[in-house]
Chains A and B, each alone.
Chain A
C-alpha cells in the first residue's frame, strides 16, 4: 500500500514539475526559425519571424491551443544617464505572458501591463548595478540589423528576481512593441504556444511541424527546451528506487516476523498433522499455501487502502513547501496508477510467500515429538 501511495506521490511530483516548467517560462511549444535556439542569443535580429501577427492567428485556430504569444529577443546597452550596462532583453506581450505565468518574482514595483507602452522590468542585479528603482527612466541602445544605432526611452515599473543570478544581472523585459521599435522590425524571435492539456504536447508539436507555419521553422517542446526536466525525473526515479528497496526490506522483515510468530505458535498443530501421517513436504506446502492466500488477501486490502488514501489525498491535497530554486509553494496530490497498485500487490504477495518459506521449512524438519511437546 505504501509502495503504491509513494509511487503515486512521485507521479504527481513529475506532473507538477512539468506544469511548473511550462508555466514558468517556456510554454508547451515554441516556434522559431532554424538556428534561433542555438545562436539566437547573440544575434537575435538574424532569426526573425516575419509575420508574427498572422502566424499567431493561424496557430490560435487549432482547438487544443489555449494561447499564443510572441517574444522578441534583443541585446543592447542600458543607460541610466551616467553609466551603461550590456543587457539581454526580451519584448513580450504582458497580458498573454501573465496568463501563461512566470517564475519571475517581483521584488519592487509591479509586473509589466499591456498599458505600459514604454515600461520595463529589470533583473535585481541590473537594478543594483545601475542604481535603478521603479519610476526611474532609462535608455536602451542597440545597433539595428542595417547597422544604424537605435534607442528607446523606458520607465522602470518593476524589479524581478529569477532562479538564476546570472539572468538577474543581465535580464530586461519590455513590451513587444517597444522591442520592435528598437530593432526596427515588425517581426518576433519566437512564438510561444500554451495548450489546454500538457499531455497533448507531443501530438501538437508533430501537427505544427507538418503544417509548416513558415518555411525554416524549428518546433521545440517544453521537454526539449528544458533538458533538466528529464534529468530531474531520472534522478527522482533513482531515489524512488532506493526508497522502494527500503520499503520492500521493511515489508519483508515485518512479514517474516509475523509469519514466524503465527507459524511457531502453531508448532504443535503441525506436529499433530505429522503424527497423523502428513509428510514434511505436506506441512511445508500447507504453510506456504496458507501464507500465499494471506498474502493475496493482505495485498488486496493494501490495494483498497491505497486507493482510499489516494482518493482522500486527491481530494484534499498535501500542502508542500516550495521546492529548492522556486518560490512557489504547491499542493501535492497522489496519482495512484493501476500499474503501481499491481506492483504493490505483487510485492505483498511475493513477500509473504517468501517469508513463509523459512519458518515453514523449520517447522517441517523439527522432530514431531519435539513439536508436540510445545502444546504441554
Chain B
C-alpha cells in the first residue's frame, strides 16, 4: 500500500527576476510503514519536497496524493483538517510553545478533535510522553528541557493524533551527534511499534543507516533510490540522461559515494 504518491512535481520560486527551480519533475511513491530518509546536500530541495508532501506548500505543477486524498484541488481548510488528522510534523527547531508545559504542548493538536474529552486527551498525552520516555517531565517548560528532550516532546506532539505519516525535516540538525542518533532510534522504534510511516530529511550521511528506504536528491531531482534489506542497501541510480541504472552496492560503498 502506498501512502504518498508524487507525479511530475515541479516547484519554482521567484527570486527577483529569476525563477529558482527547487524541485524538477519529481515522481515518487512511498509505501506505508516505511522509515524513509531523504538525503542530499543543503539547498538540494529536501525541505521543499517534505513541505509539499505535508501539504504546507503547494507545487507549481504535478499531482500529489497523501493517504488516499488527492491534495491538488483541496481548499486550505480541507488541507488543515488533513494535516490535523493524518500528518504529524517534527521540526528542526522543535517549534514548541515556550509558555506551555511539555504536556500542554503535546495536548495542543488534540484540542481540535472535538470527539475527545478532557480525560481522553490527558490519557493520550501521558501515553505519548511515556512513549518518548518523558513521563516525568510533563510539567516542565521547554526551556527547562535539553535539546534532545525538546525534540522528544515534539515527536510526542506529532504522534498524539495517531497520524499515518510523520514528517521530520532535519530533526537532528540542531542536536549533537549522539543525541541525534538517540532521536532517530526512538523514531525507528515507534515506526516499528505503531507502524507509522516516517519520512525524515538529513544532510548527514551518518544517520542514513537507521532508515530502510532512501531517496537521494540533488539540485531538485531524485538521483538515487535505496531499499535496505538485512542490513544491505539495494541502490538504484537515476541519471538525468539515459535510463535508470540499477546497481547494487554495499553499505560502505554507498557511504563513500553518496
Contact = CB atoms under 8 A, between A and B. Distances in A.
Q: Say what secondary structure dominates the interface of chain A.
A: helix
A131 interface: no
B65 interface: no
Contact of B56 (A268, A372, A375, A376): A372
B63 interface: no
A275 B76 contact: no
Nearest to B52: A369
B249 interface: no
B243 to A, nearest CB: 33
A272 B95 CA distance: 7
Nearest to A283: B80
Nearest to A279: B80
Contacts of A269: 95, 97
Q: Say what secondary structure dominates the interface of chain B.
A: helix
A189 interface: no
A368 B109 contact: no
Contact of B84 (A277, A367, A368, A369): A277
A280 B51 contact: no
Interface stretch (B86-94, B121-129, B143-151, B183-191): B86-94
A272 B93 CA distance: 11
A275 B97 contact: no
A220 interface: no
Contacts of B47: 369
B251 interface: no
A61 to B, nearest CB: 71
A274 to B, nearest CB: 7
B253 interface: no
Contact of A367 (B57, B83, B91, B92): B57
Contacts of A148: none
B112 A368 contact: no
Interface residues of B, number: 25
Contacts of A369: 47-48, 51, 56-57
B95 A274 contact: no
B108 A368 contact: no
Interface in A343-376: 367-370, 372, 375-376
A278 interface: yes
Interface string A264-303: 0000110110111111111000000000000000000000
Contact of B77 (A279, A368, A376): A279
A346 to B, nearest CB: 29
B85 interface: yes
B157 interface: yes
B57 A375 contact: no
Contacts of A370: 57
B51 A277 contact: no
B2 interface: no
Contacts of A278: 80, 84, 112
B56 A368 contact: yes
B157 A376 contact: no
A275 B54 contact: yes
6 contacts: A272-B91, A277-B84, A277-B109, A282-B112, A372-B91, A375-B93
Interface of B: 47-48, 51, 54, 56-58, 76-77, 80-81, 83-85, 89, 91-93, 95, 97, 108-109, 112, 157, 161
Interface of A: 268-269, 271-272, 274-282, 367-370, 372, 375-376
